Amino acid sequence: MKRFLQMISVGLLLLPLAVNVPQLWAETISWMLPTTYVDNTAISAADRARIAIYLRGWKDGNPGAKTYFGEKRDGAASWTDNVMVRMNQWGASNAVPGWVPVKPWDNVFITASAALKSATDNVERDSPESPPIAWTIPGPAAFAAIGANPAVLVRGACSMLTWTTTDAVSASIDQGIGSVPLTGTRQACPVVDTTYKISAVNPGGTTTATAQIAVSVPVQPGCNSPTGLTIKQ
């Protein structure tokens, strides 16, 4: 038998994957095995078929609660999985001491290792784990909407701003209003045409929306000369 697992390096790559499943944020987990051992001896197809890849992970700040959450055998090059879902499933089903469920925007660390089952004694020998790869569990973008009622008013009158956000951790409105609840209302009494912009923020970035209020000037009563009338002295 050629060299065992200490001679096999494992590369791990995490990339975002767009999926058409509401409220599901997935990652593509990929690894690459070399074609030779460190002594430049080729890894045979038979050896590659006996290689297993293991993934482990833990939440930032909670390294004692490490999960074993993925494996792949038969020399496959990659697979797609949801890191958050799999870590939570494994942590709960195996009653990992101190396990805290992972949620969107949590920072986690992932390691990969390989195992090779000997063709001579059928014993599987593990390689050391790879250096931890830092990864932030992706989540949904924040949503924001804002409206004004009425959207057209006479100077001196007021309008009611109404806004809502989802998946945001904070919100603010410009024009001097500042920080606001994630959903709410507020009276606005502009004296000129004014656009109000709400910004909804979460760890993934900022989403904005706007509402415009148009302001007209009231007609003032006064004395105007009649038209079509000639006055002679």
Written as tens digits, the pLDDT of the chain (233 aa) is 444 444 445 555 554 433 333 344 556 666 666 677 767 788 777 777 777 778 888 999 998 898 887 777 666 666 667 788 888 888 888 888 888 898 888 899 988 887 777 777 778 777 778 888 888 888 888 999 999 999 999 999 999 999 999 999 999 999 999 999 999 999 999 999 999 999 999 988 899 999 999 999 877 666 555 555 454 55
Widest CA span in the chain: 130
Does 76 share its domain with 54? yes
Last residue of a domain, one of 136, 162, 180: 136
Does 114 share its domain with 186? no
Residue 59 belongs to what domain range? 5-136
Does 189 share its domain with 100? no
Does 113 share its domain with 131? yes
Structurally, the chain folds into a number of domains equal to 2
Indicate the residue type of 97: P
Does 33 share its domain with 11? yes
Does 110 share its domain with 148? no
Does 112 share its domain with 177? no
Does 168 share its domain with 66? no
Indicate whether 66 belongs to any domain.
yes
Residue 205's Cβ-side half-sphere holds a number of Cα atoms within 13 Å equal to 6
Tell me, yes or no, if the pTM score tops 0.75. no
CATH number at residue 43: 2.60.40.10
Q: How many whole angstroms separate alpha carbon 199 and alpha carbon 204? A: 13
Query: In this structure, are residues 215 and 194 in contact, taking their beta carbons and an 8 Å threshold?
Result: yes
Indicate whether 58 belongs to any domain.
yes
Does 73 share its domain with 163? no
φ/ψ of 194, rounded to 5, equals -140, 135
